């Protein structure tokens, strides 16, 4: 049965090098991912990270299910969870499998102080014993109806310093189905360039352990990703900040985009976000979690979340700063459309 379950690991079936949309809090929501599905779908999509502790109890689960909403056009898609309680990780992994995800990922790299204080995220780099227990628990939990979904780990090269010789072997010893390695320590945050030499060393360690390894950090384009994949021998490339304002990023056939089209896509993103991510609307759901019929919410998001995207959509052209200032003051999609239409009619 174990071999049969391993054969269902979709990571091994992807043509290499493959590209993955990175999980980003308050970024990779349903609306954001749908824009990529339409304009340039990566080989794998990721959700925002979701608390395993919250998913493990009924009250929290009913709220957090909104963050685990996905559509069939998003496969293969991986749900990322975080936590420091193995039993809750196990329950959350089971839920992810039950929801129909293709994989579950454990966040062991988040640098946020509040997450580290819980012992989760990059805090687990300092507690390899607990990290290994969490991987074991996720593997045990990620089974539903005789199907085990693959368990991946996303982490960093260290906490305060490069620790790939001590930290990475601990992770690989538990044989995750995939390891995503970000080329910075927790202490470095984004203050230095990602260390792709270190990523390459982790890729070699992964090959020796028979684990798929994905590199992450400072990838600026598909071409850049392909070059890094070849040079550092990773199986795949994960891209985070580089995709901001570019839902077409993963479209290998699109070389350029007109400013008017870019602004139209920004408007489409805005309207989709307002429609799908704001307000509370109950969606009919057939999901039955651990014997309890569970409601699934579209979601509750603040319109201001979109404004980080406007900074990326609106840059690099004459009048960008002035347009951006106006967009930052807008309160809804109607106002965004009015401002944008005025700019297009007067300048394009």
Q: Is 228 exposed, middle or buried (0-12, 13-18, 19+ CB in 10 A)?
A: buried
- DSSP letter (8 states) at residue 161: S
* 287 touches 99 (CB < 8 A): yes
* 163 touches 157 (CB < 8 A): yes
* Closest alpha carbon to 34 in 269, 243, 255, 238: 269
* 315 touches 338 (CB < 8 A): no
Residue 110 falls in the annotated catalytic set: yes
- Indicate the pairing of strand 296-297 with strand 282-283: antiparallel
- DSSP letter (8 states) at residue 44: B
DSSP three-state, residue 236? strand
Residue of 52, 110, 306, 314 marked catalytic: 110
Token pair of 83 as six digits: 């936590």
* Positions marked catalytic: 110
């Amino acid at each position: 049965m174990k071999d049969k379950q391993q054969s269902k690991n979709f990571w091994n079936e992807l043509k290499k090098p493959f590209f993955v949309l990175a999980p980003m809090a308050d970024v990779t929501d349903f609306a954001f991912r749908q824009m990529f599905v339409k304009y340039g779908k990566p080989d794998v999509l990721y959700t925002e990270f979701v608390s395993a502790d919250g998913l493990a109890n009924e009250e929290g689960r009913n709220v957090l299910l909104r963050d685990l909403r996905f559509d069939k056009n998003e496969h293969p898609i991986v749900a990322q969870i975080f936590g420091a309680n193995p039993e809750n990780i196990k329950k959350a992994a089971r839920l992810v499998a039950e929801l129909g995800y293709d994989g579950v990922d454990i966040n062991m790299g988040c640098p946020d102080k509040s997450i580290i204080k819980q012992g989760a995220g990059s805090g687990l780099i300092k507690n390899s014993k607990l990290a290994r227990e969490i991987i074991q628990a996720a593997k045990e939990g990620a089974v539903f109806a005789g199907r085990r979904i693959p368990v991946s780990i996303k982490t960093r090269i260290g906490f305060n310093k490069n620790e790939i010789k001590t930290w990475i072997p601990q992770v690989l010893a538990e044989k995750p189905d995939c390891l995503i390695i970000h080329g910075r320590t927790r202490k470095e945050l984004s203050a230095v360039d990602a260390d792709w030499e270190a990523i390459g060393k982790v890729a070699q360690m992964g090959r020796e352990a028979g684990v798929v390894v994905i590199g992450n950090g400072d990838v600026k384009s598909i071409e850049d990703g392909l070059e890094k994949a070849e040079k550092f021998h990773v199986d795949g490339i994960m891209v985070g900040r580089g995709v901001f304002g570019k839902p077409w990023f993963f479209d290998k056939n699109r070389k350029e985009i007109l400013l008017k089209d870019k602004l139209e896509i920004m408007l489409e993103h805005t309207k989709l976000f307002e429609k799908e991510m704001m307000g509370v609307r109950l969606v009919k759901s057939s999901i039955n979690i651990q014997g309890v019929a569970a409601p699934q919410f579209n979601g509750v998001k603040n319109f201001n979340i979109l404004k980080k995207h406007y900074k990326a959509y609106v840059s690099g052209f004459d009048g960008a700063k002035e347009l951006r200032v106006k967009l930052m003051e807008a309160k809804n999609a109607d106002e965004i459309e009015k401002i944008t239409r005025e700019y297009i009619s007067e300048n394009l």
